[in-house]
Amino acid sequence: MHNLDTTTDGHPDAAEHPDEARHDDPGRRELMALHAERAELEQRLARAGQERLYLAEPGAVASAQAEEAALLAELDRIMTRIRAAEYRSQPGARTW
């Protein structure tokens, strides 16, 4: 087997089917799932922001504002996990 017949993870068949190898990579699946979660949170955050700006009832505005704050904290947590997953995917990345 030649080194050109393997991918960086060493799977010999991955060179023949590069898209399949990329989708089977657990790190890539984790990163894609995190990005999907991020996108969903961003949509919810946009809706909460719109509700905070445009609802007329003070209680509903306060509720939207509280939801917006909670979603921002969750988005920060997801972004931290994404950065960690991206770092782990780099060759030679340290593990703690």
Q: Is residue 7 part of a domain?
A: no
Looking at residue 4, its pLDDT comes to: 41
Q: Is residue 15 part of a domain?
A: no
Q: Is residue 33 part of a domain?
A: yes
Looking at residue 11, its pLDDT comes to: 46
Q: Is residue 58 part of a domain?
A: yes
Tell whether pTM > 0.75.
no
Domain count, the chain: 1
- Averaged over successive runs of 10 residues, the pLDDT of the chain (96 residues) comes to 43 49 75 96 97 95 96 97 89 74
Q: Which residues constitute the domain of residue 52?
A: 26-87
Q: Is residue 14 part of a domain?
A: no
Q: Is residue 41 part of a domain?
A: yes
Measured between alpha carbons, how far is 74 from 37 in angstroms, rounded to an integer?
10
Residue 64 burial (C-beta neighbours within 10 Å; 0-12, 13-18, 19+):
buried
Q: Angle 26-54/58-88 helices, nearest 10 degrees?
A: 160
Q: Is residue 66 part of a domain?
A: yes
